[in-house]
Each structure stands twice: as C-alpha cells, then as structure tokens.
Amino acid sequence: MPMSDPRTDLDARFSDPKASPADWTEALALIRAAEVFWLTTVRPEGRPHVTPLIAVWHDGALHFCTGPDERKAKNLRANREVVLTTGGNALGEGQDVVVEGEAVRVTDEATLRTLAGLWVEKYGEHWTFRIRDGVFVGDGGEALVFRVAPRTAFGFHKGEPFGQTRWRFTG
C-alpha cells in the first residue's frame, strides 16, 4: 500500500531558527539503510518494553519479525501500538527517525515471500526464511511478521542547524 506524501511540519520549539523541515525522502533513505531499529511495545500491565531488532521497508511500511513466545509478541497481543526508532549515537551530526504506528500481522504468503527476499537482500544469507502457514521459519524456529505503516514520524536533525520535523500520514 503506497502512502501519500506526509504533512510536514518543523517544530520551532525544538529547532534552530535557521532550520527548515526535513524532507521525508531523506528520512526514508535513512530508514531503508538502517541496520538496527529499537522497537518499543507496551506490556499488558502498562510498562514499556524496548528491544533492538532488524527491519525492512516495503510497500510504505516497516516490517519486523519476532518469535511467537518473545516478550514483544506477547505485548502485541494486548496492544498493537508501537514505536520504531533508528539513527546514530552522535550528538552533533546525523539524524534520528522515530516511526509511530500500529503493528499488524502479515500472513499473506506472497507478501511473506517478498519480505523474506528483502531480509536476505538487506542482511545477508544468515537471515534466510522459509514460509509456512503464514509465518517465517528459520533456524531459530517460527517468527511472526508485523507491518508498521507510519501514522506519525519524527526526524531529529543533530548538528547545525538542529531541528525537529514531524510527518503526519493519511491513508
């Protein structure tokens, strides 16, 4: 599902007066190239859970996978709202991107085959999955696959000029 261009706003409260809103295509390039993301879910009793994982961008959304008995999968059974974050650890340069949305299970076998190919293309042969009964199957067992289409995303440009951009998506 291709998405429309997001509404883009610079948050002047957290931006240098010389800053301008970041372009979504630049943020998307960072997302596509990023190797590690931090996924935030909410435990059933309300405490947050954050964990690093890998993800691929396809068809207007980030996709990640997890074992059905892992904490993040258990959390998603109760609350599908998530945040995925990527960027760098340097304070004075680069950009961080935060994507907020709903994690929706992907079970369509054709889509899973496409995603499995993207995992290998991005992360190498070690991340080869077979598809069976609507899940990835690999050396570690079964993995549920989730799709997160951005509802809102934030870009934090670090360095001069620093700035905070918000992208709001519709459809």
CB atoms within 10 A of CB 124: 9
Which residues on neighbouring strands pair with residue 56, listed in sequence order? Answer: 63
Which pLDDT score, from 0 to 100, does residue 171 have?
A: 63
Q: How do the pLDDT tens digits run along the chain, 171 residues long?
A: 445 689 999 999 999 999 999 999 999 999 999 999 999 999 999 999 999 999 999 999 999 999 999 999 999 999 999 999 999 988 999 999 999 999 999 999 999 999 999 999 999 999 999 999 999 999 999 999 999 999 999 999 999 999 999 999 986
Position 1 scores a pLDDT of 41
H or E segment and range at residue 128: none
pTM to 2 decimal places = 0.94
CA of 8: how far to CAs of 25, 58, 164, 165, in Å? 11, 21, 11, 7
Preceding peptide of 161 cis, ω within 30°: yes
The pLDDT value recorded for residue 170 is 87
- The pLDDT of residue 137 is 98
Query: pLDDT (tens digit, 9 = 90+) per residue, 47-62?
Result: 999 999 999 999 999 9
- Domains of the chain and CATH, by start: 7-168 (2.30.110.10)
